[in-house]
Amino acid sequence: MITTEHAKKRMTQRAIRISDIDLILELGTIKPRPGGAEEYFINREKIALMISELKHIMNQINRLRNKAILITDNKVKTVYHKHKLNRRILCH
């Protein structure tokens, strides 16, 4: 997307990064504006929902620490806690 000089100046003044714009465009709600323009924004409710979902994902990722899956022939053969003992058994 092309960014006008005016928008670049406002981005600098308001500490808005290109990555912020990309995220708003990806996740935001579109509201028609006069003259055929469109306003993109992320409202408080959507932000709260996304934060809640991300916290859930972060907790799940943290829970998966030291967990492993052993796959053979596209089949999950076993799952286990990855410890030094398991590494020695699987390597031999």
Which uninterrupted H or E stretch holds 67?
strand 67-72
Reported as a single tens digit per residue, the pLDDT across 63-79 is 999 999 999 999 999 99
Q: Are residues 51 and 86 in the same domain?
A: yes
**What per-residue confidence (pLDDT) applies to 36?**
96
Q: Are residues 76 and 55 in the same domain?
A: yes
Adjacent-strand bridge partners of 57: none
pTM above 0.85, yes or no: no
What's the DSSP call for residue 15?
T
Q: Are residues 19 and 33 in the same domain?
A: yes
What's the DSSP call for residue 76?
E
Mean pLDDT, the chain, whole residue set: 92
Residue 69 · residue 76 · CB < 8 Å? yes
| Position 42 pLDDT exceeds 80 | yes
Q: Are residues 67 and 30 in the same domain?
A: no
For the chain, percent of residues with pLDDT exceeding 70:
90
Domain that holds residue 65: 46-91
Q: Are residues 20 and 32 in the same domain?
A: yes
Number of domains present in the structure of the chain: 2
Reported as a single tens digit per residue, the pLDDT across 20-34 is 999 999 999 999 999
